[in-house]
């Protein structure tokens, strides 16, 4: 006989989102419209999971910004170090070209990589603009690898801005979006309080209609709980983001 257990309350945000998605897919295989209790429960669970998925997407985008910022920081460092290296080459034409670029870079300083996101973006855009002017372009042409390094910085900046735009759009559209942790709690409460007991009862009362779905739901929750237990036993670092 099927006996669905409750979801382990120490499950992560991402665990619950994945679990709810699979549970909803299991229910979607049948028409439950005639069940006046189950239908609104499924609808509420679906709405909660949709919001949770969106909240997790936003959190993922935000974390990606730090990664993209690190990439452009390294590109800035590469450019400064490369030009600095050319300053010490005893070849007049190359040294003169390096001095032209060094005078531009000194206006910004290597410290721009430590600025906040918006200020750093503004300075990088300004730097790239200065490096596209005729005197700079002529100097760049004399120094092998500099053009490629500038191109890498430009690409890293565009990559960062694309992610930053996603984050800004998410914030403007979803200002009142509940936190992922709150939505996780809502989803677990809905399942543990309103769905587990009902499906256990109905699987006994009307097994032909409910037992198969109840069994699938039970297996999905067991799998999630086992994963959570295994994570706890191995003392894996937990995170509310995922």
| Same-domain status, 129 and 157 | yes
Per the model's pLDDT, the better-predicted residue between 172 and 118 turns out to be 118
38 and 83 share one domain: no
Q: What is the mean pLDDT of residues 166-193?
A: 75
23 found inside a domain: yes
Classify residue 1: in a domain, yes or no. no
Backbone angle region of 165, left / alpha / beta, with phi > 0 → left and psi within -120 to 50 → alpha: alpha
Residue 83 and residue 165 in one domain:
yes
pLDDT band with cut points at 50, 70 and 90 for residue 232: confident
6 in a domain, yes or no?
no
Give the helix/strand (H/E) hosting 125.
Answer: helix 117-130
Q: How confident is the model at residue 92 (pLDDT cuts 50, 70, 90)?
A: very high
197: pLDDT strictly greater than 60? yes
Does residue 241 carry a pLDDT above 80?
no
Given this model, what pLDDT does residue 118 score?
87
pLDDT of 81 reads 96
Mean pLDDT of the region 51-70: 83
Percent of the chain scoring above 90 in pLDDT: 75
Query: For residue 215, is it within any domain?
Result: yes
Q: Is residue 186 over pLDDT 90?
A: yes
Q: Is residue 66 part of a domain?
A: no
Final residue of a structural domain among 139, 173, 207: 173
Number of domains within the chain: 2
Last residue of a domain, one of 129, 156, 173: 173
Tokens of 226: 């086992």
Same domain? 54 vs 144: no
Q: Is residue 2 part of a domain?
A: no
**pLDDT recorded at residue 164:** 84
The answer as to whether 156 is a domain residue is: yes
pLDDT value at 237 more than 50: no
Mean predicted confidence (pLDDT) in 163-178: 62
Assess if residue 237 is contained within a domain.
Answer: no
pTM across the whole model: 0.60
With a pLDDT cut of 70, the percent of the chain lying above it is 91
Do 89 and 124 belong to one domain?
yes
Phi-psi region at 228: left, alpha or beta (left = phi > 0; alpha = psi -120 to 50): alpha
Supply the pLDDT for residue 226: 95
User: Do 183 and 168 fall within a single domain?
Assistant: no
Residues with Cβ within 8 Å of 148's Cβ and at least 6 positions away in sequence, in order, are none
Same domain, 118 and 35: no
Q: What is the pLDDT of residues 133-150, one digit of tens each?
A: 999 999 999 999 999 999
What is residue 16's predicted lDDT score, i.e. its pLDDT?
A: 95
Cβ atoms of residues 115 and 80 within 8 Å:
no
Q: Is 122 found in the same domain as 104?
A: yes
- Residue 92 sits in the same domain as residue 180: no
Q: Are residues 88 and 156 in the same domain?
A: yes
Lowest mean pLDDT across 86-90, 113-117, 120-124 = 113-117
Does 45 share its domain with 136? no
Mean pLDDT for 141-161 is: 95
Q: Can you tell me the distance from the alpha carbon of 213 to that of 199, in angstroms, rounded to the nearest whole number? A: 8
Provide the residue range defining the domain that includes 44: 13-59+176-232
Report how far residue 242's alpha carbon sits from residue 240's, in angstroms, rounded to the nearest whole number: 5
- 79 lies in the same domain as 119: yes
């Amino acid at each position: 006989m099927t006996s669905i257990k409750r979801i382990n309350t120490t499950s992560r945000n991402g665990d619950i989102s994945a679990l709810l998605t699979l549970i909803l897919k299991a229910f979607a295989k049948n028409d439950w419209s005639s069940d006046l209790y189950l239908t609104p429960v499924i609808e509420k669970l679906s709405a909660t999971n949709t919001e949770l998925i969106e909240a997790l997407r936003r959190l993922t985008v935000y974390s990606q910004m730090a990664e993209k910022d690190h990439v452009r920081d390294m590109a800035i460092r590469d450019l400064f170090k490369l030009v600095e290296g050319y300053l010490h080459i005893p070849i007049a034409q190359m040294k003169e070209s390096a001095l032209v670029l060094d005078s531009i870079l000194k206006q910004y300083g290597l410290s721009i990589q430590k600025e906040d996101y918006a200020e750093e973006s503004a300075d990088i855009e300004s730097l790239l603009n200065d490096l596209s002017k005729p005197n700079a372009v002529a100097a760049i042409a004399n120094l092998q690898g500099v053009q490629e390094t500038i191109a890498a910085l430009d690409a890293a900046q565009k990559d960062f801005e694309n992610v930053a735009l996603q984050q800004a759009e998410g914030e403007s559209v979803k200002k009142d979006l509940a936190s992922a942790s709150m939505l996780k709690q809502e989803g677990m409460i809905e399942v543990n309080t309103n769905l587990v007991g009902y499906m256990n009862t109905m699987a006994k009362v009307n097994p032909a209609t409910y037992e198969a779905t109840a069994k699938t739901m039970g297996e999905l929750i067991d799998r999630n709980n086992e994963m959570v237990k295994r994570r706890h036993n191995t003392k894996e670092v937990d995170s509310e983001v995922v």
